[in-house]
């Protein structure tokens, strides 16, 4: 019998930091133009290594925009093979669905799958495009049943649409003189309690991080020549775990998913929830 790793609820897998949108205040700094696409072979090898250490109920393939990856069908298929009993989810803004016409077939084939579509524009012209794309890619291709508000199911595929332009969005960093800074509210317990992504550990470049925002701190600061910025130093000390991390460290990590960490001080202790500002849409003319 295959040895499974430590049980966790969710595991995100960031296969690209490139995106066709730029959403102001993206939790992973994606709106600041970080172009990275992980090689398919590396993704598979990394998943195989992590499967021996972690046993997630839910694996989310995320970006950036994951549909940008030229091997997205194969990635979803391999995710199913490796994480054999997890829900396999792909998180998309839906603009690129016409370029991935087999996505529904792939998801039906792998089964126990989910598409999460997030809307990032209020502009009705962009919303029409997304609606049309969802119709062509999914709703027109099967019998869908509404299973909860904004969620439909067809066979073993779930499609959920969320809309941060209606509210619930907040700034994980503050902007000071045009530069992104940590909040440093010195109340990690409140920051964690009020956090919207606190139970989503993520793998980025084969390292495991507590949450999406911390995974991209070094990448963002490196690109912007900010590695010496004193406000960011406490968070730069945080390092993601390698798949060969010893068992005790990994157990400690898993326990801490559901608890605050000192790095939570970088996030706001009392976030102001607001509607997401209009995303910049890079490759669509309206």
Contact footprint for ligand SF4 (CB under 6 A)? 191-192, 195, 197-198, 210-211, 213-214, 263-264, 266-267
CB of 268 to ligand SF4, least distance (A): 8
Nearest to ligand SF4 of 24, 196 (CB atom)? 196
- Give the Cα separation of 119 and 126 in Å (integer): 9
Q: Is the CB of 43 or the CB of 241 nearer to ligand SF4?
A: 241
Rounded distance between C-alpha atoms, residue 54 and residue 89, angstroms: 17
Q: d(Cα 9, Cα 146) in Å, to the nearest integer?
A: 24
Least separation, in Å, of the C-beta of 17 and ligand SF4?
Answer: 17
DSSP conformation class of 63: S
Least distance from C-beta 102 to ligand SF4, angstroms?
34
Neighbours of 196 (CB within 10 A): 17
Q: For residues 43, 141, 121 and 28, what is the CA-based torsion angle, rounded to 10 degrees?
A: -10
- What values do phi and psi take at 63, rounded to 5? -125, -145
User: Least distance in Å: CB of 84 to ligand SF4?
Assistant: 28
């Amino acid at each position: 019998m295959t040895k499974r790793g430590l049980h966790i609820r969710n595991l995100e897998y960031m296969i690209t930091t490139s995106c066709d949108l730029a959403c102001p205040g993206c939790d992973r700094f994606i709106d600041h133009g970080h172009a990275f696409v992980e090689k398919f072979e590396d993704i598979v090898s990394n998943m195989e290594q992590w499967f021996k250490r972690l046993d997630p109920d839910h694996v989310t393939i995320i970006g950036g925009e994951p549909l940008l990856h030229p091997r997205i069908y194969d990635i979803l298929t391999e995710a199913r093979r490796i994480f054999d009993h997890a829900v396999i989810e792909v998180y998309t803004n839906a603009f690129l669905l016409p370029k991935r016409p087999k996505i529904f077939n792939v998801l039906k084939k792998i089964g126990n799958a989910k598409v999460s579509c997030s809307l990032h524009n209020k502009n009705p012209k962009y919303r029409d495009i997304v609606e049309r794309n969802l119709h062509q890619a999914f709703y027109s291709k099967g019998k869908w049943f509404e299973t909860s508000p904004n969620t439909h199911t067809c066979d073993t595929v779930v499609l959920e649409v969320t809309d941060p332009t209606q509210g619930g969005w907040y700034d994980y960093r503050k902007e000071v003189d045009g530069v992104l800074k940590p909040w440093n509210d010195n109340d990690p317990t409140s920051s964690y309690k009020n956090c919207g992504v606190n139970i989503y550990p993520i793998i980025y470049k084969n390292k495991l991080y507590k949450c999406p925002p911390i995974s991209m701190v070094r990448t963002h600061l490196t690109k912007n020549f900010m590695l010496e910025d004193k406000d960011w130093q406490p968070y730069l000390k945080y390092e993601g775990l390698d798949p060969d991390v010893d068992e005790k460290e990994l157990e400690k990590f898993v326990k801490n998913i559901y608890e605050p960490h000192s790095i939570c001080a970088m996030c706001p202790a009392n976030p102001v929830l607001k509607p997401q500002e209009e995303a910049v849409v890079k490759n669509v003319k309206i």
